[in-house]
Every structure is written in structure tokens, then in C-alpha cells.
Amino acid sequence: MSKIYIRNPWAQLIVDGKKTIETAAFNLPDRFINKWLHVQTENKMVIGKVKFKATKRYATAETFDSDTTAHCVGEGSPYHFRQRQRCFGWVVGAAVAFKAPRKAAAFKSQFRLEQ
């Protein structure tokens, strides 16, 4: 299964079902839509899995702020719409937290494809 790198606390919020939109400065590649991805954090742990069902591009701070309860990014955050040149939302279709985190190798890009 492919992996996606997401920093905590957002990764944990996603696998726990409390964050239903992940924000990013780029659009989620189509090949990852409706595919299960292991969620790996900065401490080299896989904590669950997520399946994104859609993406959207935020065009204004107002539309971004209207989804605050879904993406959990407040106005003072460095990840807020106003701090980025582009801002996308990856809509979570399903997520599962593992009962016990699994150790994983580090990787530097956002995604890693597994064979």
C-alpha cells in the first residue's frame, strides 16, 4: 500500500475521523483518489490509513474559512489560506486509526508508492 506523510497533530485527527479535509499547497494527484494510503508521521510511525474521495481548490480566504471545522486550520496558522500562494483541500472519504502504530522507514517526499 502507498503511504502519505502528514504531520501531527493533523495526521492523528484524520485517522480519528475528526479532520475531514487535509489542506495542502498542491492538488492531490489523481492516482491517489479513492485509494487507501498508509498515514506516516514525522516520527516514522504509520498510525492508520486514509482514502481521499475528492479534492478542491480554495479561491478565497472566505471559502477556506467556511471549512474550518473540517480542516482544523485556524487563521493564525502558517498553513492558513492567507499564508499560501495556492491552497487545496483533500476531502477524506474514509479513515482508520491502527490500534498500535507501526514503525516505518523515513521518506522525504509527500508520497511513497509501495510495490
pLDDT tens digits, one per residue of 27-85: 999 999 999 999 999 999 999 999 999 999 999 999 999 999 999 999 999 999 999 98
pTM of the entire structure? 0.91
How would you label 27-45 residue by residue, b for 16+ Cβ within 10 Å and e otherwise?
ebeeebeeeebbbbbeeeb
